[in-house]
Amino acid sequence: MSIRIAIDGPAGAGKSTIAKEAARRLSVIYVDTGAMYRALGLYFMRKGLDLHDEAAVSAAVPETSVTIGFEAGEQQVLLNGENVNGLIRTLEVGEAASVTSSYGAVRAHLLELQRDLARRHSVIMDGRDIGTTVLPDAELKIFLTADVRIRAKRRFDELAAKGVSTTLEQVEAEVRERDERDMNRAVSPLRQAEDAAVVDTSVLSIGEATAVICALANERAKERGLTV
């Protein structure tokens, strides 16, 4: 049997960097569910919808098909057949994903795709509700977090490296707003699963956090006689 590892946590905790590296070391597939919500956010933006109009956004959901492929181990997200990987990493698309991922129709649309990937492969899946809703029976659940000021500083440095002009205060305000929305929505809010191990990257480096997760995964696989 294969192993399913769920990694949830707020934006900027280092989830995707850590999950990607842990997946490489454990030779399992890394599934970035945020990218799927971002692809849908991009679709609604392109269509010019009012993202706060749940009825209008929900009505457009059946027009979309999100599929996943892998190229050299990197997840590629296809939106209605178009590879949108290069278009979904902007702040604007992140905001669109955060707003529209609170709608039940949007979440239901992606749920089966996510579960199906975990049925067919050993996975590390990262998101907000993987341990609580998508894979409640995952063999290992991690809640990856960090102090909000540290997460904001990381985002700020990333943006500065890309030449985006902003201030640390502005980025911190956006991170707090995103946390607020992701944690307080009615459907599948970001929440720590009861049986999740907490890994805090305020006190651990990315490398240390990755090592902790790989050690837990190997231990769990051994206990349960699973292959990773």
CB of 101 to ligand DC, least distance (A): 3
Integer Cα distance of 131 and 118 in angstroms: 12
Q: Is 34 in the site for ligand DC (CB under 6 A)?
A: yes
Locus of tokens 């997460």: 151
CA dihedral 97, 100, 106, 108 (to 10 degrees): 90
Q: Is 106 in the site for ligand DC (CB under 6 A)?
A: no
CB of 168 to ligand DC, least distance (A): 19
Could you tell me the end-to-end alpha-carbon distance of the chain, in angstroms, rounded to an integer?
A: 9
Q: Is 97 in the site for ligand DC (CB under 6 A)?
A: yes
Q: Is 21 in the site for ligand DC (CB under 6 A)?
A: no
| Tokens, residue 1 | 């049997």
Site string for ligand DC, 179-198 (x = CB under 6 A): ---x----------------
* The one among 22, 33, 75, 131 contacting ligand DC by CB under 6 A: 33
Q: Is 94 in the site for ligand DC (CB under 6 A)?
A: yes
Locus of tokens 């989830």: 15
Q: Is 139 in the site for ligand DC (CB under 6 A)?
A: no
Integer Cα distance of 177 and 99 in angstroms: 11
Q: Is 101 in the site for ligand DC (CB under 6 A)?
A: yes
Q: Is 127 in the site for ligand DC (CB under 6 A)?
A: yes
Residue type, 215: A
With respect to ligand DC, which residue has the nearer C-beta, 33 or 145? Answer: 33
CB of 128 to ligand DC, least distance (A): 4
* The one among 29, 31, 37, 171 contacting ligand DC by CB under 6 A: 37
| Beta-sheet pairing, 4-8 with 140-145 | parallel
Integer Cα distance of 163 and 168 in angstroms: 14
Residue type, 182: D
